[in-house]
Amino acid sequence: MVLAHRILFFGSMALALIAMLGQVAIPALVRAAIDGALAPQAVDGVTPDGGLSNRLWFFVVIIVAIGVVRGVLTAAYRFGLYRTAFDIDSDLRTLLYEHLTTLSFSFFDRTQSGQVISRANSDIRSVQMFLTFAPLMSVTGVMFVVSIVFMLSIHVPLTIVAVLPLPGVYLVGKRLRDQVFPLSWIVQARTADMSTVVDENINGVRVVRSFAAERAQINEMAKAATRLRWAGVRTVDARARHNPIIENLPRLGMLLVLTYGGWLVIDGQVTEGSLFAFTAYVTMLQAPFRTFGLFLMLGQRARASADRIYEIFDTEPEVVDRPDAVPLVEPSGSIEFDDVSFRYRDDGPLVLDGFSIQISAGETVAIVGRTGSGKSTIARLLARFYDVDDGAIRIDGADVRDVTQLSLRHAVGVVADDPFLFSVSLAGNIAYGAPGSPRPEIELAAKRADAHDFISSLPAGYDEVVGERGYTLSGGQRQRVTLARAFLTKPRILVLDDATSALDVAVEQRILDGLREVGAATIILIAHRMSTIAAADRVVLVENGRVLASGLHHQLLASEPVYAEVLANLGDDEPHDDDEPDDDPAMAGLTTEDRR
């Protein structure tokens, strides 16, 4: 990623190196100035002719000029390096989200949302912090090397004395690194665990409060925070025991330089200016070690975070387009499930086991079965949210694995039983699958979903912004908005996965009667209600992942005992959310709990 911003990054590093060379040159200039002023031909900085020493003025002007130039370069390279770090941060977030959109549903089935959120936020932040400060710290490392070279040019034995404590710094730093890396991984992982608790409690706040489970969730959060605190305290403890040694060992070098260097000056082996330069360079040698502990901490945390991020990048999507995949263009809508077998996990039970059915174009079929018989899985496989383990699914004779996913999902519309709305306007929610749709088309889709009246009664109408997940609306209202969303895209195949369960019978019947108007050629109704089954041309009974029977409702009722048993378990069509007066303006926008 750095190479993508190489001009700004390496240009900034070049400016940083030039600024660093200016800083390293100043002690050498001061050394020359001091030695020149103390030379026999000048007394108190005055030349024999009585004028001020031109040599001293020369050094003053040069040092001031270097300081000004260094100030400008420092501002420029810091801006460039910070800009690069934040650009990489932005790129990394975008690439991570883009990769997440390609991952299969199975990844999200086994991965907690809090884990993903943590990696997309705190882990990327850790990498960004390292990218911000590591180049600056690396410049001090170069300054260390250049300072050593200058010191060697002045006096080799004194240089050896100055760097004598540095191997100890390396050994202590290595020990600190070995302790901090696993702790950094634990900190990031437990931060993600805490994010998961927060995410689940915010999204499930109604469940938590319905069961008066606030105290239990607070305790769960306290446990997660305690585990994070333990890892954080251990990290701080490791730094507290090692960083003082890392920072103070170089100061021991200063003590040795002043002791040995002072003796050398008294003995006349080095000049006063050389001793001053040495003390300045030893101070510069300390700078990398003052930040060495921070560098190690940031580096180990960034390394742990990068490993966690690349766990996601290294995850390959299981459902991908084949190299020779072709678009599915205006299908007529015939569907064939040919001996399909499927399980969600490799070690899990078979959900579909030899499932076979043919649906003609233009046919409306109701899929009926007990809970867990595999009805919803049929919809997910048809839209290729998952790939079948065995067998094949064909649309107009084309295997869904041989067509592009984009064209397949334009052709197959799935409305799930759990309606999800985004925190945008109702018009934006309806037009989610067809952005840019004109308002008349949005309103027409809403009318076909029997949602226009209640939307119009809201204070802002179609511009009303719903709360997170649409919880400011009743369950039936949310279902009608998601139905309108599907209707607007005009899919050739429409799958309603118990998508009218929160609607009363009259509203459901109006929607089912108008389904043909949306342009769908084939309709699959995954049904749990008699009123939904009655709207189908044919009923398919699913049992243990297989088609047990298929035919007209009255035929199955008379010939198939399991069908009669399943219908008996469905019970009567009791009133749901939309048996409440949704279209009453006084009730619009209220939740089900508010209505009752």
Give the Cα separation of 233 and 244 in Å (integer): 17
What pLDDT score does 54 carry? 63
DSSP tag of 547: E
Residue 391 structure tokens = 């067998």
Residue among 388, 400, 341 nearest 545 (CA): 341
The dihedrals phi and psi of 178, each to the nearest 5 degrees, come to -65, -30
What pLDDT score does 134 carry? 80
Give the Cα separation of 383 and 132 in Å (integer): 44
Residue among 462, 454, 494, 470 nearest 419 (CA): 470
**Residue 66, Cα to own-chain centre: how many angstroms?**
45
What pLDDT score does 393 carry? 94
* Residues forming beta bridges with residue 337, ordered by sequence position: 357, 393
* Residues forming beta bridges with residue 465, ordered by sequence position: 425
Do 507 and 484 touch, CB atoms closer than 8 A?
no
Whole-angstrom distance between the N-terminal and C-terminal Cα of the chain? 55
What pLDDT score does 290 carry? 64
Do 384 and 400 touch, CB atoms closer than 8 A?
yes
Instruction: Name residue, tokens 């002043």.
Output: 258
Pairing of strands 546-551, 398-399: unpaired
Amino acid at the residue 548: L
Give the Cα separation of 334 and 61 in Å (integer): 87
Residue among 119, 264, 113 nearest 203 (CA): 113
What pLDDT score does 167 carry? 80
Alpha-carbon distances of 458 from 420, 446, 482, 486, 591, rounded to whole Å: 19, 14, 17, 22, 13
Give the Cα separation of 303 and 285 in Å (integer): 26
Give the Cα separation of 277 and 142 in Å (integer): 18
Helices of type H across 103-123: 105-110, 113-118
Instruction: For the chain, give percent helix, strand, coil, nearest 5.
Output: 65, 10, 25
Do 278 and 261 touch, CB atoms closer than 8 A?
yes
Q: Is 202 exposed, middle or buried (0-12, 13-18, 19+ CB in 10 A)?
A: exposed
Residue 75: Cβ within 10 Å count: 12
Q: Tell whether the torsion through CA atoms of 558, 559, 563 and 565 is positive or negative.
A: positive
**Residue 455, Cα to own-chain centre: how many angstroms?**
34
Residue among 326, 350, 349, 352 nearest 337 (CA): 352
What residue ranges of the chain have pLDDT lower than 70? 1, 38-55, 202-207, 209-211, 286-287, 289-294, 468, 516-520, 570-596
Tell me the whole-structure pTM to 2 decimals: 0.68
Q: Tell whether the torsion through CA atoms of 340, 345, 349 and 351 is positive or negative.
A: negative
What pLDDT score does 588 carry? 37
Residue among 390, 405, 383 nearest 343 (CA): 390
What pLDDT score does 430 carry? 92
Give the Cα separation of 212 and 557 in Å (integer): 44
Cα angle: 319, vertex 363, 547; to 5 degrees: 65
DSSP per-residue letters across 251-288: HHHHHHHHHHHHHHHHHTSS-HHHHHHHHHHHHHHHHH
Do 515 and 484 touch, CB atoms closer than 8 A?
no
Q: Which long-range contacts (CB under 8 A, 24 or more apart) does 503-507 make?
A: 503/450, 503/476, 503/479, 503/576, 503/577, 503/578, 504/476, 504/575, 504/576, 504/578, 504/579, 505/531, 505/573, 507/450, 507/476, 507/480, 507/578
Q: Which domains does the chain have, with CATH numbers?
A: 2-313 (1.20.1560.10), 335-419+492-595 (3.40.50.300)
Residue 515: Cβ within 10 Å count: 19
What pLDDT score does 72 carry? 92
Task: State whether residue 397 is helix, strand or coil.
Answer: coil
What pLDDT score does 339 carry? 93
